[in-house]
């Protein structure tokens, strides 16, 4: 599936900032925005995957996005990079809060330190990234913030208590920021992916029988891939969604 089927002229030249943009869904987002002609900056902790992505994109297009190594649990580092991107590329107009970690965990084994660490990765960076980019978006006359939720919240899955709590909270954050920032023409929405079959998911959680089970619950009997997620994110970043804010958009094959 091509992520360039729709072309959004207002995304060309736009400064876009993506967390976790080096692999999986994030890599598809980075590539899709770059193909639209955006000035893409992304952060990740996986240097090898991120540099490989940069090389692939450069081979295909002759240019590459801007990569910054960052552990997003370090709020000061994340906000400093956002400031640097704004100073070098121009005001950020789209923020995609994509980065997260869905490692499984038994509720009996969770202690305060683990809980706090999971929130510091799966929830806290969304707010502080938004806090840092909002003044830049105000300067630019508006913008779009896209927070990533998860279909797991609707499925009542086990062994994901801290992850699902963070993802449920993501839409609460979306709703509140949509109200606070709407006066500045900044839209805030939640993108809710379904069971997207990434390399990581295949390595850690999903086998052939799991895929069959997933598709048995979906209305559409298809494998959800990263390239199915990028086009709706482009839409939420574009002027075509200029009247949409505070909403959840599910891309799940009809599971939820």
C-beta separation of 91 from 140 below 8 A: yes
Q: Which of 8, 67, 68, 163 is catalytic?
A: 163
**CA angle (196, 147, 122) in 5-degree steps:** 75
Which of 217, 211, 209 is CA-nearest to residue 197? 211
Active-site annotation holds for 163: yes
C-alpha angle 163-168-173 in degrees, rounded to nearest 5: 115
Contact status, residue 119 vs residue 166, Cβ threshold 8 Å: yes
Q: Which two tokens stand for residue 88?
A: 């070098």
Q: Crossing angle of helices 24-35/47-61, nearest 10°? A: 30
Q: What Å distances lie between residue 166 and 108, 149, 231, CA to CA?
A: 18, 8, 24
- State the DSSP H helix or E strand holding residue 252, giving kind and residue range, or none if neither: none
Strands (DSSP E) contained in 109-170 are: 143-148
Let me know: does 168 contact 210? Beta carbons within 8 Å: no
C-alpha 81/C-alpha 132 separation (Å) is 10
Judged on CB neighbours under 10 Å (0-12, 13-18, 19+), 71 is middle
* Residues designated catalytic: 163
């Amino acid at each position: 599936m091509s992520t360039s089927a729709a072309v959004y002229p207002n995304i060309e030249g736009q400064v876009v900032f993506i967390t976790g943009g080096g692999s999986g869904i994030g890599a598809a987002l980075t590539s899709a925005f770059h193909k639209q002609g955006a000035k893409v900056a992304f952060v990740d902790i996986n240097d090898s995957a991120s540099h490989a992505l940069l090389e692939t994109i450069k081979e295909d297009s002759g240019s590459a996005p801007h990569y910054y190594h960052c552990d997003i649990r370090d709020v000061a580092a994340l906000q400093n990079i956002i400031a640097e991107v704004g100073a070098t590329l121009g005001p950020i107009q789209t923020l995609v809060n994509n980065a997260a970690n869905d490692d499984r965990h038994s509720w009996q084994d969770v202690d305060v330190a683990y809980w706090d660490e999971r929130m510091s990765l799966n929830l806290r960076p969304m707010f502080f990234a938004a806090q840092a980019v909002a003044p830049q978006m105000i300067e630019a006359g508006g913008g779009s913030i896209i927070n990533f939720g998860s279909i797991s919240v609707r499925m009542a899955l086990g062994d994901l208590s801290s992850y699902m709590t963070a993802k449920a909270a993501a839409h609460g954050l979306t709703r509140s920021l949509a109200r606070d920032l709407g006066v500045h023409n900044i839209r805030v929405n939640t993108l809710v992916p379904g069971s997207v079959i990434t390399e990581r998911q295949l390595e850690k959680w999903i086998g052939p029988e799991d895929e069959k089970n997933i598709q048995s619950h979906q209305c559409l009997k298809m494998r959800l891939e990263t390239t199915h997620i990028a086009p709706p994110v482009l839409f939420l970043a574009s002027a075509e969604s200029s009247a949409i804010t505070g909403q959840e958009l599910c891309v799940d094959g009809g599971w939820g």
